[in-house]
Amino acid sequence: MELKMDILTLAKWEKGIQPFLGRLPVQLVVEKYSKGRLDFLAQLKKEIPVDICEPPQELARTLWGIRFRTPVMNAAGMFKNGECYEMVAMQGAGGYLGGTGTWNGRRGNEKNGVYLPFVKYGKSNAASNFLGLPNEGDAENSIRAHTMGRMLNCPIGWSVMGSPNFSGEEKLKYLVSSMRLYENANVDFLEINESCPNTGEGNVQDTGLVERLTYVKRHFLDERVCDDGRKRVIPVIVKFSTDTSLEQVPMLVDLLCSLGYDGVNFGNTSTQYEKRRAGIMRCEQKLYDYFTQTFGGGVSGRPLRESSLELCAKAVEYVKQGGVMREFNVIRTGGVETWKDIEDSARIGVLLNQWYTGYFKNFSEVGHRVYERLWER
Ligand SMILES: Cc1cc2nc3c(=O)[nH]c(=O)nc-3n(C[C@H](O)[C@H](O)[C@H](O)COP(=O)(O)O)c2cc1C
- The predicted pLDDT at position 275 comes to 98
Superfamily (CATH) of domain 5-376: Aldolase class I (3.20.20.70)
**Tens digit of pLDDT for each residue in 157-184?**
999 999 999 999 999 999 999 999 999 9
- The predicted pLDDT at position 202 comes to 47
Length of the chain measured in residues: 377
Q: Which atom of ligand 1 is nearest to the CA of 75?
A: 17
**Domain ranges across the chain:** 5-376
Is residue 199 a contact partner of residue 164, using CB atoms and an 8 Å limit? yes
Is residue 330 a contact partner of residue 262, using CB atoms and an 8 Å limit? no
Distance in Å, CA 356 to ligand 1 centroid: 6
Q: Residue 92 and residue 78: Cα distance in Å, rounded?
A: 16
Output the tens digit of pLDDT for each of the chain's 377 residues. Answer: 444 546 666 666 676 767 777 788 999 999 999 999 999 999 999 988 888 888 999 999 999 999 999 999 999 999 999 999 999 999 999 999 999 999 999 999 999 999 999 999 999 999 999 999 999 999 999 999 999 999 888 999 999 999 999 999 999 999 999 999 999 999 999 999 997 665 555 455 557 899 999 999 999 999 886 555 656 799 999 999 999 999 999 999 999 999 999 999 999 999 999 999 999 999 999 999 999 999 999 999 999 999 999 999 999 999 998 777 789 999 999 999 999 999 999 999 999 999 999 999 999 999 999 999 998 86
pTM over 0.85: yes
Distance in Å, CA 326 to ligand 1 centroid: 28
Beta carbon of 33 within 6 Å of any ligand 1 atom: no
Distance in Å, CA 267 to ligand 1 centroid: 9
Alpha carbon of 197 to those of 242, 269, 270: distances in Å? 11, 7, 8
**Tens digit of pLDDT for each residue in 77-122?**
999 999 999 999 999 999 999 999 999 999 999 999 999 999 999 9
Burial class (CB in 10 A: 0-12, 13-18, 19+), 137: middle
